[in-house]
């Protein structure tokens, strides 16, 4: 089935536009609708020395696969001209408008999924706009109470109980309610989007050695263990809490469909070491399909021709897989 997927080109001074142009050079199975400024893409293509033809999005036209130098464009006006590698806070509104249009179009059925190129959180906040990331943005836009951030390679999936929190705040955020909501979403979406009938999820502890029977912290005894027991009673297959340095070994991972880490830098360094540049960031719990690249804006590489579109290709493939299972 040929699908229509939206791609937001991300921070205009970063490598997002470059990646969109690079994937246009490759044969694609699906129609890729890039939500971006058309002049920006043409300018960046010229800087890269790559051919690019843009066809303006028409919701009434048949879905047609992209590739061979061609993309579909959903044009958005920049607030100020872009110089590759140079951030400008005035374009923060443009970046957020691409996200809004992507979400609105997915919810009304114009496309079946969203793939996001990297944005620069710092410059958006410098513009006076509170922004902590794509994950939280789409959660708030869609009006859902909880979403789950999961990164995936071809053979490893890692989800997070907490995401963009200072380490000092993590322990207070590990509550029975939060763990329960995250596990239920993860279990549900592994079934719905990945076709796994009975997902097996490995759960990491919060503390070193998973608390060492309370000697290195009591969160495992007082919060995590009782919560996992209740979730197992609902029929969810959970193993843990395990020490993170034990969980992330082949012996354990080979028998699991996903790993659940308690915080960002507990789980993601392992996954990125395992498959950086070939992983996709996935937001679970939304009423739409959303994936992203596993890297940042790389301002120093914009317009140099030195970028690798591997993660964007993975994110597109994962979004298509999820959307196909959902439909």
Q: Which residues pair with 33 in a beta bridge?
A: 6, 72
- Whether residue 164 is annotated as binding a ligand: the answer is yes
Say if residue 190 is in the same domain as residue 81. Answer: no
Our count of domains for the chain comes to: 2
- 122 lies in some domain: yes
Say if residue 173 is in the same domain as residue 303. Answer: no
Q: Which residues pair with 290 in a beta bridge?
A: 114
- 281 lies in some domain: no
For residues 279 and 127, the answer to whether their CB atoms sit within 8 Å is no
- Shortest CA distance to 170 belongs to which of 263, 251, 297? 263
- Whether residue 134 is annotated as binding a ligand: the answer is yes
- Whether residue 188 is annotated as binding a ligand: the answer is no
From CA 83, how far away is CA 17, in angstroms rounded?
A: 12
Q: Which residues pair with 292 in a beta bridge?
A: 116, 281
- 280 lies in some domain: no
Say if residue 227 is in the same domain as residue 102. Answer: no
Say if residue 170 is in the same domain as residue 85. Answer: no
- 293 lies in some domain: yes
- Whether residue 135 is annotated as binding a ligand: the answer is yes
From CA 119, how far away is CA 262, in angstroms rounded?
A: 24
Residue-averaged pLDDT of the chain: 96
Q: 308: domain range?
A: 4-144+286-325
Q: What is the CATH number of the domain that holds 303?
A: 3.40.718.10
Say if residue 13 is in the same domain as residue 139. Answer: yes
- Whether residue 274 is annotated as binding a ligand: the answer is no
* pTM assigned to the model: 0.93
- 277 lies in some domain: no
Say if residue 120 is in the same domain as residue 227. Answer: no
Transcribe 80-123 into DSSP letters. S--BTTB--GGGHHHHHHHHHHHHHHHHTTS-SEEEE----HHH
Structure-token match 């997915």, residue found:
106
21-73: pLDDT as tens digits: 999 999 999 999 999 999 999 999 999 999 999 999 999 999 999 999 999 99
pLDDT at 274 over 90: no
Say if residue 258 is in the same domain as residue 293. Answer: no
Q: Which of 72-76, 108-112, 163-167, 220-224 has the lowest mean pLDDT?
A: 163-167
- Whether residue 79 is annotated as binding a ligand: the answer is no
From CA 231, how far away is CA 229, in angstroms rounded?
A: 5
Say if residue 128 is in the same domain as residue 229. Answer: no
206-255: pLDDT as tens digits: 999 999 999 999 999 999 999 999 999 999 999 999 999 999 999 999 99
Say if residue 221 is in the same domain as residue 254. Answer: yes
- 278 lies in some domain: no
Say if residue 35 is in the same domain as residue 140. Answer: yes
Say if residue 104 is in the same domain as residue 72. Answer: yes
Say if residue 214 is in the same domain as residue 245. Answer: yes
- 191 lies in some domain: yes
Q: At 247, which helix (H) or strand (E)?
A: helix 244-247
- Whether residue 30 is annotated as binding a ligand: the answer is no
- 97 lies in some domain: yes
- Whether residue 42 is annotated as binding a ligand: the answer is no
């Amino acid at each position: 089935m040929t699908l229509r997927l939206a791609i937001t080109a991300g921070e205009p001074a970063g490598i997002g536009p470059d990646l969109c142009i690079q994937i246009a050079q490759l044969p694609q199975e699906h129609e890729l609708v890039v939500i971006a400024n058309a002049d920006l893409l043409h300018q960046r293509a010229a800087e890269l020395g790559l051919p690019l033809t843009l066809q303006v999005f028409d919701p009434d036209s048949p879905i047609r696969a992209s590739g061979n130098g061609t993309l579909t464009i959903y044009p958005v006006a920049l607030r100020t001209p872009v110089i590759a590698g140079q951030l400008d806070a005035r374009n923060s509104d443009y970046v957020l408008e691409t996200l809004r249009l992507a979400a609105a179009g997915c919810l009304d059925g114009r496309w079946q999924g969203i793939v996001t190129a990297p944005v620069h959180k710092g410059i958006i906040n410098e513009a006076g706009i509170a922004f902590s990331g794509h994950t939280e943005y789409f959660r708030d836009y869609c009006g859902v109470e909880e979403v789950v951030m999961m990164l995936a390679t071809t053979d490893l999936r890692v989800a997070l109980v907490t995401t963009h929190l200072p380490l000092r705040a993590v322990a207070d955020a590990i509550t029975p309610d939060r763990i329960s909501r995250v596990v239920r979403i993860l279990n549900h979406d592994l079934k719905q989007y990945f076709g796994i009938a009975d997902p097996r999820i490995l759960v990491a502890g919060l503390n070193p050695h998973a608390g060492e029977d309370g000697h290195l912290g009591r969160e495992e005894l007082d919060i995590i263990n009782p919560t996992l027991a209740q979730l197992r009673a609902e029929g969810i297959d959970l193993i843990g809490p395990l020490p993170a340095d034990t969980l992330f070994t082949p012996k354990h991972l080979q028998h699991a469909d996903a790993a659940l880490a308690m915080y960002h830098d507990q789980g993601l360094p392992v996954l990125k070491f395992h498959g950086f540049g070939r992983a996709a960031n996935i937001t679970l719990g939304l009423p739409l399909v959303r994936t992203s690249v596993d890297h940042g804006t790389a301002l120093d590489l914009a317009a140099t021709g030195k970028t690798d579109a591997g993660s964007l290709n993975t994110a597109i493939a994962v979004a298509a897989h999820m959307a196909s299972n959902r439909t």
